[in-house]
Structures are given as C-alpha cells and as structure tokens.
Chain A
C-alpha cells in the first residue's frame, strides 16, 4: 500500500534475514550443528594453558581447550574439543606439543607424521609435551656428541694420553734404570700433585655422570609410563633419551679408561716422584674435558629438574 511502509518493511525483513543468517552461521562456526570429538591431554604442568587455547594442526586451528584441572592423583588433565570434521588429523602417532611463543597466546600444536596411522579414539588420553624440552633434545644430543668426541680424542690409540703414558713409561724406565738420578732434577712434588688433582676431578665427573645416567634412566621410565603403549606418542622422546643414555655410557667408559691410565701414570710417577712437561699438558686437557662435561651435566640437570620433583601420576 504505502511506499514508506513498504520500504521500512523491506529494511526490517532484510535486516532480520541477515541477522538470522548470521546467527545460523555463528552457530555453524561454533559447531552447534556438528558432533564434537574430545581428547584428554595429560601434562606435567598447565602453565600457559587456559580454556580457549587453540589446538592447531599445520597452523590451522582445529579445536580448542575447554576445561582443565587436576585429577584425583594430582595430575593435570586438559580437555580439548574438536569438530568431528577435524578428527581425521588426529592419529595415534600424533604428538601434542604446547607452544608458548614470545608474542601471542599459547597454543597446542599437533604433529601427525603418518596420516595413515590408526585414528585416535574419542575421549582418548594423550601426552602433552612442552615444546621447551622437545626442542632442546636435538641440541642436547649435539652437545653430548661434542663432549664425547673430546673424550674420545683424548683417549684414542695414538692420542695424547697414550703418547704421554708411553713417554712416561720410557722416562720412568730410564729413571729406574741407569739415569735414575735424573728424578731429583726433573721432578717436583707440585707436578705430581697436579696429576693427582686431575685424577680426582675425573673421578668426581665419573660419579656425576653415573648419577645422571640413572636420572636419564628414570626419565625414560617415566616417559614409558606416559606412553601407555610401548611405541606410542612419545616414541621420539624416548629414543632421544635412549641415545643420550648411550652417549653418556660411552663417555663414562672413556673416562674410566682415562682414569685407569691415569692411575697407572700416577703409580709410575709416584714411583719416580716426578712428572714431565707432557704430564702438565695432559692435565690441562683433562681439566678442559672435565669442565666441559661438568657444564653438560649441569645443563642436563637444569633441563630435567625431575629429581627434586615428585613423580607425576597420570591416569
């Protein structure tokens, strides 16, 4: 009838239609029409995680954290909800990593190396790694390798220690032989003590490496507990830990070898009450190796402060 009424009616109808469409779209976006898929993430610490933290796969958000809390045993349980359509990215081989970038909010990153792996069941419980540790593991492996190389370099067949010992033997042979009088000229109590000091330091290092190896063993044990399946999500972590364990054993045996040789050397030099220039060099090199190994041990201890923490109970 009336043009004015027609226009207002058109405006109202169009606006209501758009508003209705937007509400439907919003309901769709928020997954109102969709089944959801739930996961429980078990973590050692909930720091940085809050309801609403997104779970991203290849940079695309596929779900978000809904609730988090402690379970009966004091473990942390994070519930995450995914749309059914995104559940296909979650496989048994997927790893869940908590990323805390310097700028922006925390997010949980999902990496699925093998998309053909069996799918995770609804309401499954998986382990949430903290990116700090998982990122550091390769770097740690490199450092252990470097120290190991150093120790190996010291104890190789034609290396300095062997050569020095050979030298020493020759000298001692000579000294105990017809040139026995030389000891009073060449030797000094300080030099002998330097060798003994190095020996003590090496021994201390060996005992620390021992305890560290035990700790790494403990870590691996805990990781096993987290896994729930022998070759589950934390397989990579486990493998890395095993690798470190092997390297530390290696370093340990090398140092033990050095220890044996040093003992030998000390025994000899104790006889002659004397050292040579070679022994001074040897001591410097051993000191260097020891300090590097010490730094490494400290670093490892920092990274896994688990020794002082109660074991995390997981469901």
Chain B
C-alpha cells in the first residue's frame, strides 16, 4: 500500500515537473513573441546580434552541413532506387525519394544537426550565465537579456533550420534527378510533374512551418533549460543533459505530429 502511494506520489511529482517546464517554456515564448511586436526591438543592435547568431548557427557550418546532406541524400536515393528496381516500382522511385528526403528526413536531420551543435552550445552558455550571476548583473543594470541574448538566438535558430533544410532539400532534389535521369535534360518534364504533384502549397507551407518549429524547439528549449539551472557549477552538465533530452523529444513529437497531419 505504501509502495503504491509512493509510486503515485512520484508520478504526480513528475507530472507537476513537466507542467512547470512546459509552462516556463510557453511563458518564455509568449514574452519573446510580445517583444517581437514591440517596435523598439527592431533596432540595429538586435539586428546585428541576429546576424551574428545566423552566422554561428548556419553559415559557419554550411560546407560541413551540405557535405553531410550530400552523402545522406546520395545513400538514401541509391537505396530507394535499387529497391524500387528490384520490385519493379521504378515509376514511384522519384516520388518516394522526394517525399522521404525533402519532406521528412532532411528537415529532421537538419534539426538534429543544429540541436547538437548550436542547441547544446546555447544551453551551456545560458546555464553558465545563470550560474555566474551574469543574468543578475544584467537585471541590476535593468537591461532585459531577452532582446540581445535570447530573442536573436530564437530568430537565428528558426531562420537557420528553415534555410539549411531548404538548401539540403534543393540539393537532394538535384541529386535525385541526377541519380534517376543522369546528366541529361530528358527527365526534366516528368521530374517536374512529380515535383508539381508532391508540392502543393499546403505541403510547402507545412514544410516551412515544420522547419520553423524545429528551429524554435532547438533554441527555445535549451534557453529555458539553461535558465532553470540552479546556481551551482556542477549543475551545468545536468542542465545541458536535460535540455538536450527535451529537444530530442520535441523534435520527434513535431515530426510525428506533422506526419500524422499529413497522412492520417
């Protein structure tokens, strides 16, 4: 009986914990959203920080990222094509390739890439800011850190994931064409038909929204996880660990929900 009560209590504690985390996250998001509407946010300084964030999140890794997208796309396209040939379903290979790569796999991998690289860095930095009292110092100076520390990171994350996924997707489209039709313009017409069939405008808008949510998840969650860190240096790794777990679950959830909306 005691055991049962204890389990129920621990479950309750967990649920309350999740709610607290979720509430903090959405409250933070609401604050950031409100700040976006404030015209004083849109000054040169904020813009500069956003540019810096985009540089660190997207431009700095562009060559590595595109190389990685190239290899992944090539592998997946080759697997799909050879399987399709084995089963005599070549007609569906190009559609399958585009759907799997451009709509699902590449945005997902982009989000993971940015999460591992920038998300973990953001989480660590915010946690250290919190532990080192830097945020208290800013509060003492009455300078809200949202504008020049957090909001640019969110904007940079969203922008980076959308554009990196877009570039990877375009690259995959090109690779798919080359893999199916080779270096010739003969397949242009049917390939165009396939693309036209897949990308209606709801799908395209859905893809952009999904990438934007991915971008938000890989920056918002690390920031809020960092802000939760207790003021003890040894808690920084714990905070990063928790933040990254949440990022992973959020990415998977977004992907699953988007798939459910598309195909169920």
Contacts and interface: CB of A to CB of B under 8 A. Distances in A.
Q: Do chains A and B touch in the complex (CB under 8 A)?
A: yes
Interface of A: 4-5, 7-8, 11-12, 15, 18-19, 22, 25-26, 28-31, 52, 54, 60-61, 64, 103-104
Contacts of B52: 4
Contacts of B92: 104
B163 interface: yes
A26 B199 contact: yes
Given A4-B51, A104-B91, 16 more contacts: A8-B55, A8-B59, A11-B59, A12-B54, A15-B163, A15-B167, A19-B166, A25-B192, A29-B192, A29-B195, A30-B199, A31-B196, A60-B189, A61-B190, A61-B193, A104-B92
Contacts of A104: 89, 91-92
A16 to B, nearest CB: 8
A29 to B, nearest CB: 4
A18 B167 CA distance: 8
Nearest to B163: A15
A94 B197 CA distance: 25
Nearest to B87: A103
Contact of A11 (B62, B189, B190, B196): B62
Contact of A4 (B55, B91, B199): B55
Contact of B196 (A12, A18, A30, A103): A30
B170 interface: yes
Contacts of A30: 196, 199-200
Contacts of B59: 7-8, 11
A109 to B, nearest CB: 14
A52 B52 CA distance: 45
B51 A5 contact: yes
Contacts of A52: 197
A26 B204 contact: yes
Contacts of A60: 189-190, 193
A7 B55 contact: yes
Given A4-B51, A26-B195, A60-B189, A11 B166 contact: no
Contacts of B54: 8, 11-12
29 contacts: A4-B51, A5-B51, A8-B54, A8-B55, A11-B54, A11-B58, A11-B62, A11-B163, A12-B54, A15-B166, A18-B170, A19-B163, A19-B166, A22-B170, A25-B192, A25-B195, A26-B196, A26-B199, A26-B204, A28-B192, A29-B195, A31-B196, A52-B197, A54-B197, A60-B190, A61-B197, A64-B197, A103-B89, A104-B92
Interface in B157-205: 163, 166-167, 170, 189-190, 192-193, 195-197, 199-200, 204
Nearest to B208: A19
B186 to A, nearest CB: 11
A29 B193 contact: yes
A19 B163 CA distance: 9
A103 B88 CA distance: 10
Contacts of B89: 103-104
A30 B166 CA distance: 19
Which 7 A-B residue pairs are closest in the complex by CB-CB distance? Answer: A29-B196, A15-B163, A29-B192, A11-B59, A30-B196, A8-B55, A61-B193
Contacts of A22: 166, 170
A25 B199 CA distance: 11
A8 B57 CA distance: 10
Interface string B47-81: 00001101100110010000000000000000000
Contacts of A54: 197
A253 B163 CA distance: 79
A8 B195 contact: no
Contacts of B55: 4, 7-8
Nearest to B194: A61
A159 B189 CA distance: 63
Nearest to A61: B193
A18 B51 contact: no
Contact of B51 (A8, A28, A64): A8
Residue of B58, B91, B193 with highest tally of chain A CB at under 10 A: B193
Interface in B124-170: 163, 166-167, 170
B179 to A, nearest CB: 19
